[in-house]
Amino acid sequence: MANVVVIGAQWGDEGKGKITDLLSRSADVVVRYQGGVNAGHTIVVDGQVLKLHLIPSGILYPDTTCLIGSGTVVDPKVLLGELEMLAGNGIDASGLKVASTAHVTLPYHRLLDQAMEQQRGKARIGTTGRGIGPTYSDKAERSGLRMIDLLDEDHLRERLAGPIAAKNLLLERIHGIDPLDPDEVLAEYADYGRRLSAHVVDCTRSIHDAARARKNILFEGAQGTLLDLDHGTYPYVTSSNPVAGGACIGAGVGPTLIDRVIGVAKAYTTRVGEGPFPTELEGSLSDHLCDRGGEYGTTTGRRRRCGWFDGVIGRYAVEVNGLDCLAITKLDVLDELDEIQVCVAYELDGVEVDHFPSSASEFARCKPVFRTLPGWQTSTADCRRLEDLPETAMAYLRFLADLMEVPIAIVSLGASRDQTIVVEDPIHGPKRALLSA
């Protein structure tokens, strides 16, 4: 029996959806513990491309129970759209459970998110404009609405009155946006409540019932370590805690329930939005990685910024998450390169440092110190065992394992489920893998 947290070890977009989908085969319960519709997972099953924003990847397995935990913020309109999309693809999502205590994204959250980002001008953060930050702000200010509030229209009217009046003042007087009609918002969200009522439950109780029954629980994070509100590249971060510790808060469990933490990292690095990116590439190399890797955001469609693998932020992710092992994705994207660079340290104001600086201004001044490794210049897309990989590809993976001081348990070589090498059983196996430091 094992309860496992899967997190992103970079700036998000590491391919967690595929890895979560892979691990869900061994899970009885999958819990999404933070973030909102600003996240996006793309899963390819038998050539079928499925894009999810809120619903956990485990929904593709009929015997797996999927929960959206209290730490997630839920846009009911998007959630209903995902349920309809899955039904249209012949996937039964009727067993999905949504925490009654999860906070709700409302129309004014989206409008304020977009207006505030525009107001920032050159200092913009790069938000998706989906209302995530304002939803979490209201949660912290204790003026937010939760899923349980949608289930009773009279109660919803009472809970909505104060917040919508206050937000309309902001929209109209500060941002010059037409105010929302309270009656229209009430009618819309009361309807969402009726349509989602069968899914709304006490998720924390469901999780602990599963734990008492000794079921395997997989906790799925959104975004990535460097986007964590407390431990990321602030202020260019998300509004929640994607790190492994966030699973305890977002799902309502104690740390003793967690048996293992698996980090997901690309064989190179990408970032969406603004903020420092020491290993960022420009020109033909960046275009090459972007084109081969399909580096466009699942949620926004924005082109991702691409760069070499950054071992400094990798080691930091190992520390703040307590990683037991790594899944390396998109190794095949590097197949055609004659040489590959890896950042092993930074140069900061003329001094070499091997740690991630907490100061945003210092991080912006960091220059990468690279080690150059030979490429393999042959396709790895059809490799299914370690021994199928070119020796130089194996050497690259060993270098990453040594650099990050954590074993590599999974290697992904494409978007499809079968394009994966499992080095050890990442849930039940020992902490050391064949590709270990």
Q: Which two tokens stand for residue 320?
A: 């703040």
Q: Which two tokens stand for residue 338?
A: 């004659």
Q: Which two tokens stand for residue 37?
A: 């519709």
Are 27 and 19 within 8 A, CB to CB?
no
Torsion over CA of 309, 313, 315 and 317, rounded to 10 degrees? -120
Determine the Cα–Cα distance for residues 3 and 215; give it in Å rounded to an integer.
Answer: 8
DSSP strand E in 336-435: where?
Answer: 339-348, 351-353, 367-374, 408-412, 420-422
Nearest to 222 by CA among 3, 42, 33: 33
Are 203 and 124 within 8 A, CB to CB?
no
Residue labelled with tokens 């602990």:
208
Active site residues: 13, 41
Burial 75-107 (b: 16+ CB within 10 A, else e): bbebbeebbeebeeeebebeebbbbbbbbbbbb
Are 426 and 409 within 8 A, CB to CB?
yes
Nearest to 87 by CA among 57, 46, 53, 59: 59
Q: Is 142 exposed, middle or buried (0-12, 13-18, 19+ CB in 10 A)?
A: exposed
Are 88 and 51 within 8 A, CB to CB?
no
CA 170 from chain centre, in angstroms, equals: 31
Q: Which two tokens stand for residue 300?
A: 């926004």
